[in-house]
Amino acid sequence: MTQVSDRPWSDAVQDVLHAGRRMDQRGWVPATAGNLSRRLADGRIAITRSGGHKGFLTEQDVIEIDPAGRPLDPSQKASAETLLHTQLYGSDPSVGAVLHGHSVAATILSMEIDTPVLTLAGYELLKVFEGQSTHDTALDVPFFNNDQDIARLATVVAPSLGRMPAGYVIRGHGVYVWGRDMAMALARLEGLEFLLACELERRKL
């Protein structure tokens, strides 16, 4: 079990706590929704335990798992969606943080749009995503059908790994966004949520 003197672990936990408060302020993690994680340089992963409110996280609400998603302390319970985090870490060694939230815009748009992707085009904020240097571009955000069988859902997501610079959305559920560190993951999450909110507002006009 991780010791208090483990500074890298402590830093990772603080990153998760900060992200949880930030996402709660924006209304992206209502009730016990969402899950957040941060990978350490040695491969350990700090992730929110199952069932906690992300706006009121304490250090005890962040648990340590191995790259396969197993809690190092068997008495602790990781989120049911841990596999979607470890899948991203396993697919790209540069991924250092993964965030999952449940915003109103992501939930409504993913339930109302019946195409497999939402194309975001012409927005200045597209430049927040990897590989983009101008607003004069378009990015597809994949929508995957919700599934309580997370292992099965992961197999559906798998073919798109490496081709989702803006993240992805689970229909009626929420978004997954990642980055090389927590700051980048938060910036991309805020960028995607802003653009989803813009798309929702445009459909109201």
* pLDDT, tens only, 166-202: 999 999 999 999 999 999 999 999 999 999 999 999 9
**Which residue carries 């059908």 as its tokens?**
145
Q: What element of type H or E holds 20?
A: helix 7-25
pLDDT higher at 97 or 131? 97
Cα-flanking dihedrals φ and ψ of residue 46, to 5°?
-95, 125
pLDDT bracket for residue 159 (50, 70, 90): very high
CA distances from residue 91 to 17, 24, 78, 88 in whole angstroms, order as listed: 25, 28, 20, 5
CA distances from residue 100 to 33, 35, 58, 166, 188 in whole angstroms, order as listed: 9, 5, 18, 13, 12
Domains and CATH numbers, the chain: 7-204 (3.40.225.10)
* pLDDT at residue 4 is higher than 70: no
- Reference 50, options 82, 83, 79, 20; nearest CA is 79
* pLDDT at residue 74 is higher than 90: no
State CA 203 to chain mean position distance. Answer: 25
Q: Name beta bridge partners: 37.
A: 47, 98
| 62 touches 16 (CB < 8 A) | yes
| 88 touches 95 (CB < 8 A) | yes
| 105 touches 190 (CB < 8 A) | no
Count CB neighbours of 103 within 10 A.
25
* pLDDT at residue 132 is higher than 80: no
Cα-flanking dihedrals φ and ψ of residue 71, to 5°?
-60, 135
pLDDT at 51: 84
Q: Which amino acid is residue 127, in one-letter code?
A: K
pLDDT bracket for residue 79 (50, 70, 90): confident
Let me know the angle formed at the C-alpha of 134 by 128 and 137, rounded to the nearest 5 degrees: 95
Predicted model pTM: 0.94
pLDDT bracket for residue 80 (50, 70, 90): confident
